[in-house]
Amino acid sequence: MRTASCKAPAVSRSTLPSPSSQPADASPGLPAGPTGSVAGADAKVGSSGPATRTPELVVVVPVFNEETVIVSVLREWREEVARVVPNFQLLVINDGSTDGTLAALSQLDWPELTVHSHANRGHGQSCLVGYLEAERIGAPFVFQIDSDGQCDPVAFRSVWERRHEAPAVYGRRITRDDGPSRRLITRVLRWSLKLLRHTRLNDTNVPYRLYHTGAAAAAARKVPRTFDLANIGLALKLEPQGFVEVPIHFRDRVGGHASVRYWGFARKARRLFRDLRSL
């Protein structure tokens, strides 16, 4: 990893104000300083070394309390992405984990791995931070997955091969192993957004998405910091520019807990449709 020894990781602090000191509709941002640290109690952990060429792809992986699976998930994806895009960077966004996630990451001496840490702000907002950081790095493409093992790398090549067809390429979960309640949530969300927002997207919250970095970063700046399911807001913002959907299989999770649980779905749905008015 970059910027410090893995065995004794150093941290670099940002002077960017905390979210509470910014306007409620402010979009997530990164400081302009050379460390690339993110807002709040931020740290960037990594291995020192000579500068490398700009990656073609940044893989954004938001993580919260996944100490038991994060290394195996990253190892699996690192191997597959390297077969398809040799020049890439893994960017893990540690969303205020309180377990041993950061310690597990600090043991990985991979030159293409960078870890950003910030105070907890939620999955969606952490994704937006990753898209903005990919723009700062200069990579032309950014790909987002989750850290719980549900995203199967086998479909990555199919997604990557369609990168020039539209600014956004989404996996569409056609088959999945995570149970009927999760399928129901996705179905209800799909048809609610089609009725209320007239979207043509079929899986607005899928954590398997490839973007042209400039388009994603520009849209991320327009999503308010208070928007909870921010990846949905981003997808809706980008939809007029065009998109492609690629069938994927979604595995059962091997660690952590779902950010949207069955019994909390109604509350999340109310929050989402309130947030959509701010777009």
pLDDT along the chain (279 residues), means of 10: 38 32 44 33 44 88 96 97 98 97 96 97 97 98 95 97 98 79 73 84 94 98 92 96 96 61 65 76
Q: In degrees to the nearest 10, what's the CA dihedral of 185, 189, 192, 198?
A: -160
Q: What is residue 160's predicted lDDT score, i.e. its pLDDT?
A: 98
What pLDDT, on the 0 to 100 scale, is given for residue 43? 52
pLDDT the model gives residue 177: 63
Among residues 14, 217, 58, which one has the least CA distance to residue 129?
217
DSSP annotation string for 107-152: T---TTEEEEEES---HHHHHHHHHHHHHHHT-SEEEEE-SSS-B-
pLDDT at 131: 98
Where do the domains of the chain lie?
Answer: 19-276
pLDDT for the residue numbered 42: 53
Distance CA 98, CA 72 (A): 19
pLDDT of residue 88: 98
Q: Domain 19-276, what architecture?
A: Alpha-Beta Complex (3.90)
